[in-house]
Chains A and B, each alone.
Chain A
Amino acid sequence: MSSIIDVSSVAKSFGGVIANKDISLTVKAGTITGLIGPNGSGKTTLFNSIVGYHPIDSGSIKFEGNEISKLQVQQIARRGLLRTFQQTRIYGAMDGVQNMLISLPHRKMSIFDALKTFTREDYERADHLLEFVGLYEKRMLKSGDLSFGQQKLLEFAMALMNEPTCLLLDEPTAGINPTLINGLIDRLKRANSEFGITLFVIEHNMRVIMNMAEKIYCLAHGEMLAEGTPDEIQNDQRVIDAYLGAH
Protein backbone atom coordinates (compact mmCIF):
# COMPACT_ATOMS: atom_id res chain seq x y z
CA MET A 1 0.00 0.00 0.00
CA SER A 2 1.30 3.45 -0.88
CA SER A 3 1.76 6.20 1.66
CA ILE A 4 -0.42 9.31 1.46
CA ILE A 5 1.32 11.48 4.05
CA ASP A 6 5.09 11.38 4.38
CA VAL A 7 6.61 13.36 7.23
CA SER A 8 10.35 13.23 7.42
CA SER A 9 12.64 14.84 10.01
CA VAL A 10 10.25 17.67 10.78
CA ALA A 11 11.29 20.13 13.46
CA LYS A 12 9.30 23.03 14.85
CA SER A 13 10.04 25.26 17.79
CA PHE A 14 8.33 28.31 19.23
CA GLY A 15 11.04 30.55 20.64
CA GLY A 16 12.90 28.33 23.04
CA VAL A 17 10.22 25.66 23.23
CA ILE A 18 10.93 22.71 21.00
CA ALA A 19 7.49 21.40 20.04
CA ASN A 20 8.56 18.87 17.42
CA LYS A 21 12.03 17.45 16.98
CA ASP A 22 13.06 15.18 14.13
CA ILE A 23 9.64 13.65 13.61
CA SER A 24 9.21 11.13 10.81
CA LEU A 25 6.09 9.13 10.08
CA THR A 26 4.02 7.84 7.22
CA VAL A 27 0.29 7.41 6.85
CA LYS A 28 -0.69 4.72 4.39
CA ALA A 29 -3.49 5.43 1.95
CA GLY A 30 -6.85 4.02 2.96
CA THR A 31 -5.91 3.23 6.55
CA ILE A 32 -6.67 4.65 9.98
CA THR A 33 -3.53 5.80 11.73
CA GLY A 34 -3.37 7.04 15.30
CA LEU A 35 -1.24 9.65 16.99
CA ILE A 36 -1.06 9.56 20.78
CA GLY A 37 1.04 11.11 23.47
CA PRO A 38 0.72 12.91 26.81
CA ASN A 39 -0.48 16.51 26.97
CA GLY A 40 2.04 18.92 25.48
CA SER A 41 3.88 16.26 23.54
CA GLY A 42 3.48 18.12 20.25
CA LYS A 43 0.62 16.27 18.55
CA THR A 44 -1.44 19.30 17.59
CA THR A 45 1.71 21.18 16.55
CA LEU A 46 2.47 18.34 14.17
CA PHE A 47 -1.07 18.49 12.78
CA ASN A 48 -0.78 22.23 12.33
CA SER A 49 2.52 21.76 10.51
CA ILE A 50 1.02 19.19 8.16
CA VAL A 51 -1.96 21.32 7.18
CA GLY A 52 0.12 24.46 6.79
CA TYR A 53 -0.86 26.58 9.78
CA HIS A 54 2.73 27.54 10.39
CA PRO A 55 5.98 27.05 8.51
CA ILE A 56 8.19 24.24 9.75
CA ASP A 57 11.80 24.87 10.74
CA SER A 58 13.25 21.95 8.81
CA GLY A 59 12.30 18.65 7.26
CA SER A 60 9.76 17.77 4.62
CA ILE A 61 6.07 16.95 4.46
CA LYS A 62 4.67 15.22 1.41
CA PHE A 63 1.05 14.61 0.52
CA GLU A 64 0.41 12.12 -2.26
CA GLY A 65 4.08 12.41 -3.17
CA ASN A 66 4.12 16.21 -3.48
CA GLU A 67 5.91 18.54 -1.09
CA ILE A 68 3.32 20.62 0.80
CA SER A 69 5.33 22.16 3.61
CA LYS A 70 5.56 25.51 1.79
CA LEU A 71 1.87 25.70 0.86
CA GLN A 72 -0.84 27.69 2.62
CA VAL A 73 -3.74 26.18 4.57
CA GLN A 74 -6.33 26.65 1.83
CA GLN A 75 -4.06 25.31 -0.90
CA ILE A 76 -3.47 22.17 1.11
CA ALA A 77 -7.19 21.87 1.87
CA ARG A 78 -7.95 22.12 -1.84
CA ARG A 79 -5.68 19.13 -2.49
CA GLY A 80 -8.02 17.09 -0.33
CA LEU A 81 -6.13 17.08 2.98
CA LEU A 82 -8.50 18.37 5.63
CA ARG A 83 -8.46 18.73 9.39
CA THR A 84 -10.96 19.17 12.17
CA PHE A 85 -10.17 21.23 15.23
CA GLN A 86 -9.67 20.23 18.83
CA GLN A 87 -11.75 23.26 19.81
CA THR A 88 -14.65 22.54 17.48
CA ARG A 89 -15.15 25.12 14.75
CA ILE A 90 -18.52 25.37 13.10
CA TYR A 91 -20.51 28.35 11.88
CA GLY A 92 -22.56 28.84 15.04
CA ALA A 93 -25.06 31.37 13.69
CA MET A 94 -26.24 29.04 10.92
CA ASP A 95 -28.31 25.89 11.07
CA GLY A 96 -26.93 22.43 10.39
CA VAL A 97 -27.93 22.29 6.76
CA GLN A 98 -26.34 25.66 6.02
CA ASN A 99 -23.16 24.50 7.73
CA MET A 100 -23.14 21.47 5.46
CA LEU A 101 -23.83 23.41 2.26
CA ILE A 102 -21.01 25.84 2.99
CA SER A 103 -18.67 22.89 3.22
CA LEU A 104 -19.14 21.83 -0.38
CA PRO A 105 -15.71 21.36 -1.91
CA HIS A 106 -14.82 24.65 -3.59
CA ARG A 107 -11.70 23.08 -5.08
CA LYS A 108 -13.92 21.41 -7.66
CA MET A 109 -15.75 24.63 -8.49
CA SER A 110 -15.02 27.32 -11.01
CA ILE A 111 -16.36 30.76 -10.17
CA PHE A 112 -19.29 30.04 -12.50
CA ASP A 113 -20.16 26.92 -10.54
CA ALA A 114 -19.87 28.94 -7.36
CA LEU A 115 -22.40 31.45 -8.70
CA LYS A 116 -25.06 28.76 -9.00
CA THR A 117 -27.63 28.13 -6.34
CA PHE A 118 -27.44 24.93 -4.35
CA THR A 119 -28.81 21.97 -6.23
CA ARG A 120 -31.18 19.30 -5.02
CA GLU A 121 -28.18 16.90 -4.94
CA ASP A 122 -26.34 19.29 -2.61
CA TYR A 123 -29.28 19.23 -0.18
CA GLU A 124 -29.64 15.48 -0.45
CA ARG A 125 -25.96 14.93 0.28
CA ALA A 126 -26.16 17.32 3.24
CA ASP A 127 -29.20 15.47 4.62
CA HIS A 128 -27.61 12.11 3.98
CA LEU A 129 -24.41 12.97 5.82
CA LEU A 130 -26.31 14.60 8.69
CA GLU A 131 -28.23 11.38 9.02
CA PHE A 132 -24.95 9.47 8.87
CA VAL A 133 -23.66 11.28 11.97
CA GLY A 134 -27.07 11.18 13.63
CA LEU A 135 -27.94 14.87 13.49
CA TYR A 136 -30.76 14.70 10.96
CA GLU A 137 -33.40 15.54 13.58
CA LYS A 138 -31.44 18.62 14.67
CA ARG A 139 -30.53 19.85 11.21
CA MET A 140 -32.76 22.95 11.27
CA LEU A 141 -31.52 24.18 14.64
CA LYS A 142 -28.98 26.95 15.03
CA SER A 143 -25.80 24.95 15.31
CA GLY A 144 -24.36 27.21 18.01
CA ASP A 145 -27.15 25.92 20.28
CA LEU A 146 -26.13 22.27 19.83
CA SER A 147 -24.23 20.53 22.59
CA PHE A 148 -20.46 20.31 22.31
CA GLY A 149 -20.62 16.66 21.29
CA GLN A 150 -23.21 17.37 18.62
CA GLN A 151 -21.07 20.19 17.31
CA LYS A 152 -18.17 17.75 17.00
CA LEU A 153 -20.38 15.41 15.00
CA LEU A 154 -21.48 18.30 12.82
CA GLU A 155 -17.88 19.29 12.19
CA PHE A 156 -17.14 15.70 11.22
CA ALA A 157 -20.09 15.68 8.82
CA MET A 158 -18.92 18.99 7.33
CA ALA A 159 -15.49 17.49 6.72
CA LEU A 160 -17.10 14.53 4.94
CA MET A 161 -19.18 16.94 2.83
CA ASN A 162 -15.90 18.40 1.57
CA GLU A 163 -14.97 15.01 0.04
CA PRO A 164 -11.41 14.88 1.36
CA THR A 165 -8.98 12.12 0.43
CA CYS A 166 -7.39 12.34 3.85
CA LEU A 167 -8.82 13.67 7.08
CA LEU A 168 -6.86 14.73 10.16
CA LEU A 169 -9.01 14.51 13.27
CA ASP A 170 -7.86 16.27 16.42
CA GLU A 171 -9.41 14.42 19.37
CA PRO A 172 -12.73 13.49 17.78
CA THR A 173 -14.13 11.97 20.98
CA ALA A 174 -13.05 14.62 23.49
CA GLY A 175 -16.13 15.94 25.25
CA ILE A 176 -18.45 13.38 23.78
CA ASN A 177 -20.55 11.40 26.18
CA PRO A 178 -19.32 7.82 26.63
CA THR A 179 -22.46 6.21 25.24
CA LEU A 180 -22.08 8.18 22.01
CA ILE A 181 -18.44 7.22 21.63
CA ASN A 182 -19.17 3.72 20.34
CA GLY A 183 -21.40 5.21 17.67
CA LEU A 184 -18.68 7.63 16.74
CA ILE A 185 -16.05 4.90 16.44
CA ASP A 186 -18.39 3.04 14.14
CA ARG A 187 -18.92 6.12 11.98
CA LEU A 188 -15.23 6.91 11.74
CA LYS A 189 -14.61 3.34 10.63
CA ARG A 190 -17.40 3.54 8.08
CA ALA A 191 -16.09 6.87 6.74
CA ASN A 192 -12.85 5.03 6.21
CA SER A 193 -14.27 1.87 4.65
CA GLU A 194 -17.32 3.21 2.78
CA PHE A 195 -16.05 6.60 1.61
CA GLY A 196 -12.43 5.49 1.30
CA ILE A 197 -11.11 8.40 3.37
CA THR A 198 -7.72 7.97 4.99
CA LEU A 199 -7.90 8.98 8.65
CA PHE A 200 -5.10 10.29 10.82
CA VAL A 201 -6.39 10.68 14.36
CA ILE A 202 -5.09 12.33 17.51
CA GLU A 203 -6.79 10.65 20.42
CA HIS A 204 -6.46 10.52 24.18
CA ASN A 205 -9.01 7.81 24.69
CA MET A 206 -6.93 4.64 24.48
CA ARG A 207 -9.93 2.36 24.06
CA VAL A 208 -11.02 4.36 21.00
CA ILE A 209 -7.68 4.48 19.28
CA MET A 210 -6.77 0.87 20.02
CA ASN A 211 -10.12 -0.12 18.50
CA MET A 212 -9.73 1.83 15.30
CA ALA A 213 -6.15 2.30 14.25
CA GLU A 214 -4.03 -0.14 12.32
CA LYS A 215 -0.89 1.71 13.21
CA ILE A 216 -0.15 4.09 16.08
CA TYR A 217 2.59 6.65 16.63
CA CYS A 218 3.37 7.90 20.10
CA LEU A 219 4.96 11.27 20.78
CA ALA A 220 6.52 12.44 24.02
CA HIS A 221 8.29 15.73 24.68
CA GLY A 222 8.17 16.56 20.98
CA GLU A 223 9.99 13.42 19.93
CA MET A 224 8.82 10.18 18.38
CA LEU A 225 8.76 7.71 21.23
CA ALA A 226 7.33 4.59 19.67
CA GLU A 227 5.41 3.28 16.71
CA GLY A 228 3.66 0.04 15.97
CA THR A 229 0.38 -1.83 15.98
CA PRO A 230 -2.06 -1.21 18.86
CA ASP A 231 -0.80 -4.36 20.58
CA GLU A 232 2.83 -3.34 20.35
CA ILE A 233 2.06 0.15 21.63
CA GLN A 234 -0.04 -1.11 24.53
CA ASN A 235 2.78 -3.32 25.71
CA ASP A 236 5.57 -0.83 25.12
CA GLN A 237 7.10 0.07 28.49
CA ARG A 238 8.27 3.48 27.21
CA VAL A 239 4.71 4.43 26.27
CA ILE A 240 3.37 3.37 29.64
CA ASP A 241 6.11 5.32 31.41
CA ALA A 242 5.43 8.41 29.31
CA TYR A 243 1.76 8.35 30.25
CA LEU A 244 2.43 7.68 33.91
CA GLY A 245 4.98 10.45 34.05
CA ALA A 246 8.08 8.35 34.61
CA HIS A 247 9.69 9.79 31.49
Chain B
Amino acid sequence: MTKNKTMLYAAIMAFTFISPFLFPTYGTQLATLWLMIIVSLTWDMTGGQMGYNSLGNIFFYGTGMYVAALVTIGLTYDVGEYTSAAGGGIYEFTDLQYFGGMALGVIAAGLFCSLTAVIIGSLTFGLRGPYFAIGTLGVAIAAGELVSNWDWVGGGQGIALPVYPGDLDVGKTFFYFLFAGVGVATFIFCKWLYGTRFGAAINAIRDDEEKADAMGIHTLRYKLYTWAMAAFFVGMAGGISAFQLIHFEPLESAYQTINLGIFMVVCVLLGGKGTLWGPVIGAILFHLFKEITWNYLLGWQWVALGALIVVTVVYFQDGVMGWLEHKKPEWFGIRVEKKAVGDSK
Protein backbone atom coordinates (compact mmCIF):
# COMPACT_ATOMS: atom_id res chain seq x y z
CA MET B 1 0.00 0.00 0.00
CA THR B 2 1.35 3.40 -0.86
CA LYS B 3 1.87 6.08 1.74
CA ASN B 4 -1.03 8.16 0.41
CA LYS B 5 -3.43 5.26 0.67
CA THR B 6 -2.33 4.50 4.23
CA MET B 7 -2.93 8.13 5.14
CA LEU B 8 -6.36 8.05 3.52
CA TYR B 9 -7.42 4.92 5.37
CA ALA B 10 -6.06 6.30 8.65
CA ALA B 11 -8.02 9.52 8.14
CA ILE B 12 -11.22 7.61 7.42
CA MET B 13 -10.76 5.42 10.49
CA ALA B 14 -10.09 8.47 12.66
CA PHE B 15 -13.20 10.19 11.31
CA THR B 16 -15.23 7.02 11.94
CA PHE B 17 -14.15 7.09 15.58
CA ILE B 18 -14.69 10.75 16.32
CA SER B 19 -17.75 11.53 14.18
CA PRO B 20 -20.39 10.50 16.79
CA PHE B 21 -18.69 12.80 19.30
CA LEU B 22 -18.20 15.55 16.72
CA PHE B 23 -21.87 15.49 15.66
CA PRO B 24 -23.65 14.20 18.76
CA THR B 25 -27.11 15.22 17.49
CA TYR B 26 -26.68 13.13 14.35
CA GLY B 27 -25.82 9.87 16.15
CA THR B 28 -28.76 7.92 14.75
CA GLN B 29 -28.31 9.29 11.20
CA LEU B 30 -24.64 8.31 11.25
CA ALA B 31 -25.55 4.83 12.46
CA THR B 32 -28.08 4.57 9.62
CA LEU B 33 -25.41 5.71 7.19
CA TRP B 34 -23.25 2.76 8.24
CA LEU B 35 -26.25 0.49 7.81
CA MET B 36 -26.65 1.83 4.25
CA ILE B 37 -22.95 1.21 3.61
CA ILE B 38 -23.24 -2.39 4.84
CA VAL B 39 -26.28 -3.24 2.73
CA SER B 40 -24.80 -1.50 -0.34
CA LEU B 41 -21.43 -3.25 -0.06
CA THR B 42 -23.12 -6.63 0.36
CA TRP B 43 -25.61 -5.96 -2.45
CA ASP B 44 -22.68 -5.20 -4.72
CA MET B 45 -21.06 -8.56 -3.90
CA THR B 46 -23.73 -10.32 -5.94
CA GLY B 47 -25.11 -7.42 -8.00
CA GLY B 48 -21.91 -5.71 -9.05
CA GLN B 49 -19.20 -8.31 -8.75
CA MET B 50 -21.17 -11.42 -9.74
CA GLY B 51 -23.84 -9.96 -12.02
CA TYR B 52 -26.84 -11.23 -10.08
CA ASN B 53 -29.11 -8.29 -9.25
CA SER B 54 -31.03 -9.35 -6.21
CA LEU B 55 -34.04 -7.32 -5.11
CA GLY B 56 -34.47 -9.67 -2.16
CA ASN B 57 -31.44 -8.90 -0.01
CA ILE B 58 -33.83 -7.11 2.35
CA PHE B 59 -35.02 -10.61 3.24
CA PHE B 60 -31.77 -11.15 5.12
CA TYR B 61 -32.16 -7.82 6.89
CA GLY B 62 -35.64 -8.70 8.13
CA THR B 63 -34.75 -12.28 8.96
CA GLY B 64 -31.68 -11.07 10.84
CA MET B 65 -33.92 -8.80 12.93
CA TYR B 66 -36.24 -11.63 13.86
CA VAL B 67 -33.50 -14.17 14.57
CA ALA B 68 -31.56 -11.77 16.81
CA ALA B 69 -34.71 -10.76 18.69
CA LEU B 70 -35.99 -14.30 19.11
CA VAL B 71 -32.61 -15.59 20.31
CA THR B 72 -32.33 -12.81 22.89
CA ILE B 73 -35.88 -13.28 24.15
CA GLY B 74 -35.77 -17.07 23.97
CA LEU B 75 -32.65 -17.25 26.14
CA THR B 76 -34.54 -15.61 29.02
CA TYR B 77 -38.29 -16.02 28.49
CA ASP B 78 -40.83 -18.11 26.62
CA VAL B 79 -41.11 -16.47 23.19
CA GLY B 80 -44.83 -17.17 22.74
CA GLU B 81 -45.77 -15.63 26.08
CA TYR B 82 -43.47 -12.66 25.51
CA THR B 83 -44.85 -11.79 22.08
CA SER B 84 -48.50 -12.34 23.01
CA ALA B 85 -48.05 -9.83 25.86
CA ALA B 86 -46.91 -7.41 23.10
CA GLY B 87 -44.84 -5.39 25.51
CA GLY B 88 -47.69 -5.26 28.03
CA GLY B 89 -46.25 -7.64 30.58
CA ILE B 90 -43.23 -6.60 32.54
CA TYR B 91 -40.26 -8.43 31.18
CA GLU B 92 -37.00 -7.39 32.76
CA PHE B 93 -33.62 -8.13 31.23
CA THR B 94 -30.43 -7.94 33.25
CA ASP B 95 -27.40 -6.37 31.59
CA LEU B 96 -25.94 -9.81 30.99
CA GLN B 97 -29.19 -11.08 29.48
CA TYR B 98 -29.44 -7.98 27.27
CA PHE B 99 -25.86 -7.73 26.01
CA GLY B 100 -25.18 -11.48 26.05
CA GLY B 101 -28.43 -12.11 24.23
CA MET B 102 -27.62 -9.38 21.72
CA ALA B 103 -24.14 -10.75 21.01
CA LEU B 104 -25.41 -14.28 20.50
CA GLY B 105 -28.49 -13.08 18.66
CA VAL B 106 -26.59 -10.92 16.17
CA ILE B 107 -24.10 -13.69 15.38
CA ALA B 108 -26.93 -16.24 15.12
CA ALA B 109 -28.72 -13.84 12.76
CA GLY B 110 -25.67 -13.72 10.49
CA LEU B 111 -25.25 -17.50 10.46
CA PHE B 112 -28.94 -18.21 9.97
CA CYS B 113 -29.13 -15.77 7.05
CA SER B 114 -26.13 -17.43 5.41
CA LEU B 115 -27.93 -20.73 5.66
CA THR B 116 -31.14 -19.33 4.17
CA ALA B 117 -29.09 -17.73 1.37
CA VAL B 118 -27.78 -21.17 0.42
CA ILE B 119 -31.29 -22.66 0.47
CA ILE B 120 -33.00 -19.81 -1.41
CA GLY B 121 -29.99 -19.50 -3.73
CA SER B 122 -30.16 -23.12 -4.81
CA LEU B 123 -33.76 -22.47 -5.86
CA THR B 124 -33.28 -19.06 -7.49
CA PHE B 125 -29.78 -19.10 -9.02
CA GLY B 126 -31.18 -20.97 -12.00
CA LEU B 127 -32.85 -17.66 -12.92
CA ARG B 128 -30.94 -15.06 -14.88
CA GLY B 129 -31.13 -11.31 -15.21
CA PRO B 130 -34.49 -9.71 -14.42
CA TYR B 131 -36.01 -13.08 -13.56
CA PHE B 132 -33.55 -13.48 -10.69
CA ALA B 133 -34.37 -9.96 -9.48
CA ILE B 134 -38.11 -10.60 -9.49
CA GLY B 135 -37.70 -14.08 -8.02
CA THR B 136 -35.72 -12.80 -5.05
CA LEU B 137 -38.09 -9.86 -4.62
CA GLY B 138 -40.90 -12.41 -4.40
CA VAL B 139 -39.07 -14.26 -1.65
CA ALA B 140 -38.72 -11.08 0.42
CA ILE B 141 -42.36 -10.05 -0.05
CA ALA B 142 -43.62 -13.56 0.73
CA ALA B 143 -41.46 -13.71 3.85
CA GLY B 144 -42.92 -10.43 5.11
CA GLU B 145 -46.47 -11.68 4.58
CA LEU B 146 -45.78 -15.05 6.18
CA VAL B 147 -44.15 -13.53 9.24
CA SER B 148 -46.98 -11.04 9.74
CA ASN B 149 -49.36 -13.97 9.99
CA TRP B 150 -47.21 -15.93 12.40
CA ASP B 151 -48.49 -15.17 15.90
CA TRP B 152 -45.64 -16.86 17.76
CA VAL B 153 -43.27 -14.14 16.52
CA GLY B 154 -45.76 -11.36 17.19
CA GLY B 155 -47.64 -11.40 13.88
CA GLY B 156 -48.34 -8.05 12.26
CA GLN B 157 -47.61 -6.23 15.50
CA GLY B 158 -43.99 -7.25 15.47
CA ILE B 159 -41.76 -7.51 18.47
CA ALA B 160 -40.85 -5.00 21.16
CA LEU B 161 -37.36 -5.52 22.51
CA PRO B 162 -36.06 -4.16 25.80
CA VAL B 163 -34.68 -0.64 25.74
CA TYR B 164 -30.93 -0.10 26.00
CA PRO B 165 -30.07 -0.38 29.71
CA GLY B 166 -28.39 2.84 30.71
CA ASP B 167 -28.11 6.33 29.35
CA LEU B 168 -29.89 6.56 26.00
CA ASP B 169 -27.32 8.92 24.47
CA VAL B 170 -24.63 6.39 25.32
CA GLY B 171 -26.94 3.83 23.74
CA LYS B 172 -26.98 5.79 20.47
CA THR B 173 -23.18 5.86 20.38
CA PHE B 174 -23.13 2.17 21.26
CA PHE B 175 -25.30 1.29 18.26
CA TYR B 176 -23.28 3.62 16.04
CA PHE B 177 -20.13 1.69 16.88
CA LEU B 178 -21.84 -1.66 16.37
CA PHE B 179 -22.88 -0.63 12.85
CA ALA B 180 -19.52 0.99 12.16
CA GLY B 181 -17.72 -2.15 13.35
CA VAL B 182 -19.74 -4.42 11.06
CA GLY B 183 -19.37 -1.87 8.24
CA VAL B 184 -15.60 -1.70 8.51
CA ALA B 185 -15.44 -5.49 8.77
CA THR B 186 -17.61 -5.79 5.64
CA PHE B 187 -15.39 -3.37 3.72
CA ILE B 188 -12.17 -5.15 4.73
CA PHE B 189 -13.77 -8.49 3.88
CA CYS B 190 -14.83 -7.29 0.42
CA LYS B 191 -11.44 -5.71 -0.27
CA TRP B 192 -9.76 -9.00 0.57
CA LEU B 193 -12.29 -11.20 -1.25
CA TYR B 194 -12.10 -9.28 -4.55
CA GLY B 195 -8.34 -9.82 -4.60
CA THR B 196 -8.55 -13.60 -4.38
CA ARG B 197 -8.98 -16.26 -7.06
CA PHE B 198 -12.54 -16.60 -5.79
CA GLY B 199 -13.12 -12.91 -6.48
CA ALA B 200 -11.83 -13.33 -10.02
CA ALA B 201 -14.08 -16.34 -10.51
CA ILE B 202 -17.25 -14.44 -9.54
CA ASN B 203 -16.19 -11.64 -11.93
CA ALA B 204 -15.96 -14.31 -14.61
CA ILE B 205 -19.51 -15.40 -13.79
CA ARG B 206 -20.65 -11.79 -14.19
CA ASP B 207 -18.91 -11.24 -17.51
CA ASP B 208 -19.77 -14.54 -19.20
CA GLU B 209 -21.25 -17.31 -17.10
CA GLU B 210 -21.33 -19.77 -19.99
CA LYS B 211 -17.63 -19.27 -20.57
CA ALA B 212 -16.98 -19.68 -16.84
CA ASP B 213 -18.88 -22.98 -16.98
CA ALA B 214 -16.85 -24.07 -19.98
CA MET B 215 -13.64 -23.30 -18.07
CA GLY B 216 -14.74 -25.62 -15.27
CA ILE B 217 -15.46 -23.00 -12.60
CA HIS B 218 -17.86 -24.28 -9.91
CA THR B 219 -20.37 -21.61 -10.88
CA LEU B 220 -23.37 -22.58 -8.74
CA ARG B 221 -21.23 -23.33 -5.71
CA TYR B 222 -19.44 -19.97 -5.94
CA LYS B 223 -22.71 -18.12 -6.41
CA LEU B 224 -24.10 -19.72 -3.26
CA TYR B 225 -20.96 -18.95 -1.24
CA THR B 226 -20.99 -15.33 -2.36
CA TRP B 227 -24.62 -14.81 -1.45
CA ALA B 228 -24.11 -16.58 1.87
CA MET B 229 -21.21 -14.23 2.69
CA ALA B 230 -23.32 -11.20 1.77
CA ALA B 231 -26.26 -12.54 3.80
CA PHE B 232 -24.05 -13.00 6.85
CA PHE B 233 -23.26 -9.29 7.06
CA VAL B 234 -26.79 -8.15 6.18
CA GLY B 235 -28.20 -10.51 8.79
CA MET B 236 -25.93 -9.08 11.46
CA ALA B 237 -26.86 -5.54 10.45
CA GLY B 238 -30.53 -6.51 10.69
CA GLY B 239 -29.93 -7.97 14.15
CA ILE B 240 -28.35 -4.75 15.36
CA SER B 241 -31.19 -2.70 13.81
CA ALA B 242 -33.71 -4.73 15.82
CA PHE B 243 -32.12 -3.57 19.09
CA GLN B 244 -31.61 -0.01 17.84
CA LEU B 245 -35.25 0.37 16.74
CA ILE B 246 -36.49 -1.33 19.96
CA HIS B 247 -39.83 -2.07 18.31
CA PHE B 248 -40.13 -3.45 14.80
CA GLU B 249 -42.88 -5.02 12.74
CA PRO B 250 -42.69 -7.22 9.64
CA LEU B 251 -43.83 -5.14 6.66
CA GLU B 252 -42.60 -1.58 7.29
CA SER B 253 -39.40 -2.14 9.22
CA ALA B 254 -38.19 -5.72 8.81
CA TYR B 255 -39.04 -6.78 5.24
CA GLN B 256 -39.20 -3.19 3.94
CA THR B 257 -38.85 -4.07 0.26
CA ILE B 258 -39.85 -0.63 -1.04
CA ASN B 259 -37.54 1.34 1.24
CA LEU B 260 -34.19 -0.09 2.22
CA GLY B 261 -34.65 -2.97 -0.23
CA ILE B 262 -34.59 -0.51 -3.14
CA PHE B 263 -32.32 2.11 -1.54
CA MET B 264 -29.39 -0.31 -1.43
CA VAL B 265 -29.66 -0.87 -5.17
CA VAL B 266 -29.84 2.87 -5.87
CA CYS B 267 -26.83 3.51 -3.60
CA VAL B 268 -24.75 1.03 -5.55
CA LEU B 269 -25.86 2.36 -8.95
CA LEU B 270 -25.16 5.91 -7.81
CA GLY B 271 -21.70 5.11 -6.49
CA GLY B 272 -20.66 2.66 -9.20
CA LYS B 273 -21.49 -1.00 -9.60
CA GLY B 274 -18.76 -3.59 -9.32
CA THR B 275 -16.25 -1.34 -7.60
CA LEU B 276 -15.03 -1.49 -4.02
CA TRP B 277 -15.58 2.17 -3.18
CA GLY B 278 -18.68 2.73 -5.30
CA PRO B 279 -21.19 1.34 -2.78
CA VAL B 280 -19.60 3.37 0.02
CA ILE B 281 -19.64 6.63 -1.94
CA GLY B 282 -23.13 5.90 -3.23
CA ALA B 283 -24.44 5.21 0.27
CA ILE B 284 -22.98 8.47 1.57
CA LEU B 285 -24.38 10.55 -1.33
CA PHE B 286 -27.75 8.87 -1.20
CA HIS B 287 -28.05 9.24 2.55
CA LEU B 288 -27.09 12.91 2.39
CA PHE B 289 -29.60 13.50 -0.41
CA LYS B 290 -32.30 11.69 1.51
CA GLU B 291 -31.69 13.53 4.79
CA ILE B 292 -31.54 16.92 3.06
CA THR B 293 -34.73 16.43 1.06
CA TRP B 294 -36.54 15.04 4.10
CA ASN B 295 -35.59 18.18 6.02
CA TYR B 296 -35.94 20.92 3.41
CA LEU B 297 -38.33 19.54 0.82
CA LEU B 298 -40.86 17.93 3.09
CA GLY B 299 -43.90 16.91 1.11
CA TRP B 300 -41.80 16.56 -2.03
CA GLN B 301 -39.19 14.25 -0.59
CA TRP B 302 -40.45 11.11 -2.32
CA VAL B 303 -40.70 12.97 -5.61
CA ALA B 304 -37.09 14.13 -5.25
CA LEU B 305 -36.00 10.60 -4.37
CA GLY B 306 -37.88 9.18 -7.33
CA ALA B 307 -36.25 11.76 -9.59
CA LEU B 308 -32.83 10.78 -8.25
CA ILE B 309 -33.55 7.12 -9.00
CA VAL B 310 -34.76 7.88 -12.52
CA VAL B 311 -31.78 10.11 -13.30
CA THR B 312 -29.33 7.54 -11.90
CA VAL B 313 -30.83 4.62 -13.77
CA VAL B 314 -31.33 6.43 -17.07
CA TYR B 315 -28.37 8.80 -17.33
CA PHE B 316 -25.81 7.75 -14.77
CA GLN B 317 -25.73 3.97 -14.79
CA ASP B 318 -22.00 3.64 -14.26
CA GLY B 319 -22.15 5.76 -11.12
CA VAL B 320 -19.47 8.00 -9.69
CA MET B 321 -16.72 5.39 -9.84
CA GLY B 322 -17.68 4.26 -13.32
CA TRP B 323 -17.64 7.86 -14.53
CA LEU B 324 -14.22 8.44 -12.95
CA GLU B 325 -12.92 5.21 -14.47
CA HIS B 326 -14.05 6.43 -17.87
CA LYS B 327 -12.55 9.90 -17.41
CA LYS B 328 -9.33 8.92 -15.68
CA PRO B 329 -8.58 5.30 -16.58
CA GLU B 330 -4.96 5.67 -15.50
CA TRP B 331 -6.10 6.12 -11.88
CA PHE B 332 -7.46 2.59 -12.03
CA GLY B 333 -4.44 1.03 -13.68
CA ILE B 334 -6.26 0.65 -16.99
CA ARG B 335 -4.13 1.17 -20.06
CA VAL B 336 -5.71 2.43 -23.19
CA GLU B 337 -3.91 1.90 -26.47
CA LYS B 338 -3.05 5.25 -28.02
CA LYS B 339 -4.94 5.73 -31.21
CA ALA B 340 -2.83 6.49 -34.27
CA VAL B 341 -3.02 10.03 -35.66
CA GLY B 342 -5.97 10.44 -37.97
CA ASP B 343 -7.65 7.52 -36.25
CA SER B 344 -8.97 9.68 -33.46
CA LYS B 345 -12.49 9.86 -34.85
Contact = CB atoms under 8 A, between A and B. Distances in A.
Contact of A94 (B207, B225, B336, B337): B207
A115 B197 contact: yes
B226 to A, nearest CB: 11
A64 B335 CA distance: 43
Contacts of A90: 208, 211
Q: How large is the interface on A (under 10, 10 to 19, 20 to 34, 35 or more residues)?
A: 35 or more
Contacts of B215: 77, 82, 102-103, 106, 158, 162
B216 interface: yes
Interface string B197-214: 110110110011011111
Contacts of B328: none
Interface residues of B, number: 27
A113 to B, nearest CB: 7
A131 interface: no
Contacts of A104: 197
A109 B204 contact: no
A91 B211 contact: yes
Contacts, number: 93
Given A77-B213, A83-B214, A140 B197 contact: no
B317 interface: no
A204 to B, nearest CB: 22
A103 B294 CA distance: 49
Interface of B: 193, 195-198, 200-201, 203-204, 207-208, 210-219, 222, 225, 334-337
Interface of A: 51, 72-74, 77-78, 82-83, 85, 89-95, 98, 101-107, 109, 111, 113-118, 138, 140-142, 145, 158, 162
28 contacts: A51-B214, A72-B213, A73-B213, A74-B214, A74-B216, A77-B215, A82-B216, A89-B211, A90-B211, A91-B204, A93-B207, A94-B207, A95-B335, A102-B200, A102-B204, A103-B215, A104-B197, A106-B218, A115-B196, A115-B197, A115-B198, A116-B196, A117-B196, A118-B200, A141-B335, A141-B336, A142-B334, A145-B337
Give the 10 A-B residue pairs with the shortest CB-CB distance, closest first: A77-B216, A91-B207, A78-B216, A114-B198, A89-B211, A102-B204, A74-B213, A73-B213, A140-B335, A102-B200
